[in-house]
């Protein structure tokens, strides 16, 4: 088995993301998480949300979501977002995600389960084969993934 890949990208904490104290207002982390997932599907899995929700009449709604806020993030900081697959089934996957501060310190961790659905029937369906195969490259051991509590 080859070493798993972790999908990474960065995001700048903007004024719009912060509360009056100048730290990220917690719901904004969920928007940043959704943006990361959308980027992962487009850039790493080759299944853009435009194609998924349009021509393919599919979606990947969140079935469960847990998070742990570890430290505050401040306006202007660049956060590194990391995503790995903790569990991969035929029509669902569980993601481990963490956001790191400029010095590599953990700011927030997520565990998110997505389910692939047919949007016409709103019923589970298998991931397309190519997407499932691409996801498998991001699968990590349960004790070594982003989003895992220490």
φ, ψ (nearest 5 deg) of residue 77:
-70, 150
CATH 3.10.129.10 for domain 7-137, yes or no, is yes
Predicted model pTM = 0.91
Q: What is the DSSP string of 14-70?
A: PGGGB-TTSBB-HHHHHHHHHHHHHHHHHHTTS--HHHHHTTT-EE--EEEEEEEE-
Domain ranges of the chain: 7-137
Residue that is written with structure tokens 């004024």 in the block: 15
Counting every residue written for the chain, the total comes to 150
Per-residue pLDDT of the chain (150 residues; tens, 9 = 90+): 245 689 999 999 999 999 999 999 999 999 999 999 999 999 999 999 999 999 999 999 999 999 999 999 999 999 999 999 999 999 999 999 999 999 999 999 999 999 999 999 999 999 999 999 999 999 997 655 565 543
């Amino acid at each position: 088995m080859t070493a798993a890949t972790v999908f990474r990208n960065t995001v700048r904490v903007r004024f719009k993301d912060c509360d009056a104290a100048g730290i990220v207002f917690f719901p904004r982390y969920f928007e940043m998480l959704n943006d990361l997932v959308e980027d992962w599907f487009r850039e790493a899995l080759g299944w853009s949300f435009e194609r998924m929700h349009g021509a393919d009449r599919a979606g990947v709604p969140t079935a469960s979501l847990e998070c742990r806020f570890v430290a505050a993030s401040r306006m202007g900081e660049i956060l590194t977002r990391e995503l790995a697959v903790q569990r991969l089934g035929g029509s669902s996957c569980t993601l481990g995600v963490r956001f790191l501060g400029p010095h590599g310190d953990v700011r927030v961790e997520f565990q998110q389960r997505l389910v692939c659905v047919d949007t016409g029937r709103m019923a589970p369906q298998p991931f397309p084969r190519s997407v499932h195969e691409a996801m498998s490259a991001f699968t990590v051991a349960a004790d070594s993934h982003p989003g895992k509590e220490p």
